[in-house]
Amino acid sequence: MNKTIVELVIVGKDHEGVVAGFTNFIFQNDGNIEKINQNVVKGLFGMYLEASFVKKLDMEKFSKEAENLARNLKMEVNIHYEISKSKKVAVLVTKEPHCLESILDARTKRKINGEIVVIIGTEDTLSPLAKKAKIPFVLVDEKDQQKAEEKIISIIKKFNVDLIVLARYMRILSPNFVWRYPNRVINIHPSLLPAFPGAFAYVQAYERGAKIVGCTAHYVTEDLDQGPIIFQDAFAINENETIESLKKKGQKLEASTLLEAVKMHLDERLEVYWGKVHVKPKRSK
């Protein structure tokens, strides 16, 4: 039996009636609630609701009604429909090219089960890579992070993005952004979390005499670098290692680790529950 899956993310100031309003809305449209999760941080309320519909859904009518309900409740709502087989991917970057290059190379070789529909950069350093790949590049260089996120959200809506990949995107995303895309934002961190957090992980590893260094691909949550871990990899450090050689090896590993996490997500091999990622085995061809 074919089902339409609809994801709704509701964000706004915490007050009564929001949960009841949206759950009743789903039931009134003959939907079944599959998942629901709520959280409140410093007065900001966020709710993720996933519903399924067996009957044919008028998506335009449903969206307008959901937006009207959100407006009446003084909330914002983002709606995502799971209808296309090929998932659409947005890649967020700053200036380091290695992770983006790995993803674009996998795309060229048809090793990624998704469509890169837009590349968003905090500066235009990597725009030539996007141009060469014939993928739209959008510059979002606002210094104010709230304004930057508002613009990114509008771009993601425009391209109907399923997955957001942070390919060394050097900005911290706010809860207001992250809550809108639960388990749909993947980040690469240059450390085996939780050790050596921050932008200078390789320098810290070198200075503290680490024997193994690695990186972690994880889903992004409102808790910085604490999201569910998807995939990790590491390599040994030899005595003749320099900071530069260590960084070069680390960046190569970052690229392959992030790509592996993206491929697993797009292949629908990942499930998240109780804060942990569970990986399904590969499907036999």
The total number of structural domains in the chain stands at 2
Catalytic residue among 14, 225, 233, 267: 225
Give the domain-ending residue among 82, 100, 133. Answer: 82
In the three-class reduction of DSSP (H, G, I as helix; E, B as strand; rest coil), residue 91 is classed as strand
Q: Are residues 127 and 173 in the same domain?
A: yes
State pLDDT tens for residues 235-252. 998 888 898 998 999 999
- Rounded Cα distance between 117 and 87, Å, is 10
137-139 vs 4-13, strand pairing mode = unpaired
| 146 domain residue, yes or no | yes
CB 155 within 8 A of CB 129: no
Q: Are residues 21 and 132 in the same domain?
A: no
State pLDDT tens for residues 25-55. 999 999 999 989 888 888 889 999 999 998 8
Give the domain-ending residue among 82, 115, 138. Answer: 82
pLDDT at position 128 over 90: yes
Question: Is 225 tagged catalytic?
Answer: yes
Which string of DSSP letters, residue by residue, matches 56-71? ---HHHHHHHHHHHHH
- Structural domain harbouring 50: 4-82
- Percent of the chain exceeding pLDDT 70 equals 95
Beta strands in the chain (DSSP E): 4-13, 32-41, 44-53, 76-82, 87-93, 114-121, 137-139, 163-166, 185-189, 212-219, 229-236, 270-273, 276-279
| 124 domain residue, yes or no | yes
| 285 domain residue, yes or no | no
pLDDT at position 198: 67
| Of 144 and 212, the one with more pLDDT | 144
